[in-house]
Amino acid sequence: MARRRKQNLARAHRDRGGAHPVGERTRPAQRRALRARFKWRSLAWICGGLAVAVAAVALLIASGINHQAPPLPIPTVAEGALVRGQPPADFTATTFDGHQLTLSSLKGRPVLVNFFASWCTQCAHELVFMEQSYERHQADGFVIVGVNGLETGDGVGFYHRLGLTFPAVYDPGDPGKISLAYNVTSSLPVSVFLDKTGRVDLIQLGALTPELLEQEIQKLS
């Protein structure tokens, strides 16, 4: 009887918990549920982060578009001939720093009109020593007017990277109105020196040299 009672108690114990208690049977399922919940939360965080990043990029792009500098007005050009001893075509244009410049208003001062573009390697070389000459002779009345024509890149950025300070205007088109009036339609650089009466003194096709530039400045001053 005692043995049977022990057997019955053991059987009852196995029925209540036995070799596979409820806690052990449900623990793997709980782990799987937790892992699934963690995966979904991670996915939600990733998606949310991507959405924020996309929105930030879109905002930056929109801000850049809204803050782009407005295009410069198209220059106005009067008729004229690029002939030595004659006044060249007069023009009015907006400089890179936003001021209006009319060529004829510089009469009474020696002027160099220089055509350049960012793709022109010779232009980059001569613009550097032109700037140096401009700084030396500016107090004497010497003026350089840069004309950014036949441009296919960033002429304004090119101008600032070289550290230029003399006024420069943009001549949009291929060629633009100013370039066409001065017969600058394919090759650069081109320099046109004007005397104090506003007449053409020298037309230089191709790069200047520092010596020629100084010679002309001394001659026209």
pLDDT given at position 28: 58
pLDDT, tens digit (0-9, with 9 covering 90-100), for 182-210: 999 999 999 999 999 999 999 999 999 99
Distance CA(73)–CA(78), nearest Å, equals 16
Distance CA(134)–CA(130), nearest Å, equals 6
pLDDT, tens digit (0-9, with 9 covering 90-100), for 16-51: 544 444 444 455 566 666 565 655 555 554 555 555
- Nearest Cα residue to 112 out of 69, 150, 34, 168: 168
Q: Please report the sign of the dihedral spanned by the C-alpha atoms of residue 25, residue 31, residue 34, residue 40.
A: negative
Q: Where are the beta strands (DSSP E) in the chain?
A: 76-77, 91-94, 100-102, 111-116, 143-149, 168-171, 190-194, 200-205
Which H or E element spans position 17?
none
Token pair recorded at residue 159: 């101008």
Percent pLDDT > 90 in the chain is 62
Max avg pLDDT among 4-18, 27-41, 136-150: 136-150
> What's the pTM?
0.69
In the chain, what are the domain boundaries?
2-66, 76-220
Q: Mean pLDDT, the chain, as a whole number?
A: 81
Class of domain 76-220: alpha beta
pLDDT given at position 198: 97
pLDDT given at position 65: 38
pLDDT, mean of residues 121-127: 98
Q: Is 75 helix (H, G, I), strand (E, B) or coil?
A: coil
Position 199: which residue type? R
pLDDT given at position 53: 46
Show the DSSP H helices in the chain as ranges. Answer: 2-16, 22-66, 121-137, 155-161, 177-181, 210-220
Q: Give the CA count within 13 Å in the CB-facing half-sphere of 36.
A: 6
pLDDT, tens digit (0-9, with 9 covering 90-100), for 58-87: 433 444 434 345 566 788 888 766 999 999
Q: Is the pLDDT of residue 52 over 50?
A: no
